[in-house]
Chain A
């Protein structure tokens, strides 16, 4: 991305700033629009109206919320472990934000074209668990601690099916780099991994059902990793107040919220890169048709963001459809169902890709 911006502007400072700020702006926008959409989607699904007082169609609701949050006093109770309590939200946000470094928004807009992109993303998002545990334990509140414990158990368990499916995709594509993975699924939508990848052979058609299974597994387990309903037992508003961030308020609380929405987009991005062609357009590029190749990176960015939002909307859809899982059910889904299926899927995909 740095080179791309540098070629555009010819200024080192500006390009460095843009590279640094671009993902942050994306996270903020996702949170801003995401919270609004969350409310609206939930309202529509429950035959309600949703926010409609602040601005046209309640569009400024999240802005108003943000202003409110900025004004709030940063209340810290006496009994908390101050150091850890203050570091925790930063750590959680850093964990979810750092994943954006390796996510390719388009062939040009990518923070780091690291060869180990997907590995890095999985590793760095584990930092969130540490932050959540820290927040829960330092709050000196039983609800927070319960939430943090559940969250740690949940995130650590669900990383296994995610990693197994990612592994099978790595076996198929032969690369860990997210940008290369997206590049391989170029041109039209039938070249996406969910439809068996770009190579036209018998393999492609054999792979399709197993890709579908892989997609379902990875979608469910990433949903659990970002603590969204139906896997939101770490927060569980109705039983644990707000789970591990019960004791937080104001901007610290906002950091947790921001990281949740940042995570949602990051996870959607990973799913779309693994199975749905990443930044590749499903119907070919306008830039190629009219001969303006400079347009292609922007089109790719559009498709990438569109796919990310599509999966965020599916996540919301699931949230307002399903009730919360009990702890034992949650563990059963992971260990008894997702992991065996993911293993089987891994083996079968391995055999097919050897053919």
Chain B
């Protein structure tokens, strides 16, 4: 009988305790973060989408070599003397035309290994992490500013220069010291 009354009391009392707790929570502000409108600040060393500041890129290919999944593709063409490529922001002289620089984010594993070897710190992580696409091909990001024709043109220029140099060398071997600057000026005109 005593146990019976105790059970009854316990039943009612525990329900009231529970109700008090839920009633308190009724007036607590929600802990939900309304995601698309409100975003949590990301941690300091977050690893998200890469970005390449192509103006600073010297085309050294070190990032591509560091990449464990080979998602970076760098194509370069040597410049010919007289072409001014400018300098990078930390004062290095650029010597290569970066004709093609693509990163395939479908492959990228966000390991950040490409970031450390870069001598000009032009490849780095951004805070963009929402870039899903319907097509996998859309994840192939192109960072170089060259169009395909321009890239081909640069290549042809270099080959032409190389051929002329060869020809010059051959001529120099045949008849020593003719005007060495001649092909160079021509190049400048064509530029």
Contacts and interface: CB of A to CB of B under 8 A. Distances in A.
Contacts, number: 41
Interface residues of A, number: 17
A279 to B, nearest CB: 27
Interface string B139-176: 00000000000000000000000000000000000000
A329 B19 CA distance: 20
Contact of B18 (A41, A46, A49, A322): A322
Contacts of A41: 26
A44 B26 contact: yes
Contact of A322 (B7, B15, B34): B15
Contact of B31 (A45, A47, A320, A322): A47
Contacts of A189: none
A47 B28 contact: yes
Given A318-B19, A321-B19, A44 B12 contact: no
B32 to A, nearest CB: 5
Name the prevailing secondary structure of the A interface residues. helix
A43 B22 CA distance: 11
A43 B30 contact: yes
A49 B19 CA distance: 20
Contacts of B27: 44
Contacts of B8: 337, 341
A339 to B, nearest CB: 13
18 contacts: A44-B30, A45-B26, A47-B28, A47-B29, A47-B30, A48-B30, A48-B32, A49-B30, A49-B32, A49-B34, A317-B23, A321-B18, A321-B19, A321-B21, A321-B22, A333-B11, A337-B7, A337-B11
Interface of B: 7-8, 11-12, 15, 18-19, 21-23, 25-32, 34
Q: Kindly list the 9 A-B residue pairs having the minimum CB-CB distance in the complex, ordered from nearest.
A: A321-B18, A321-B22, A49-B32, A49-B30, A45-B22, A47-B31, A44-B26, A45-B25, A321-B19
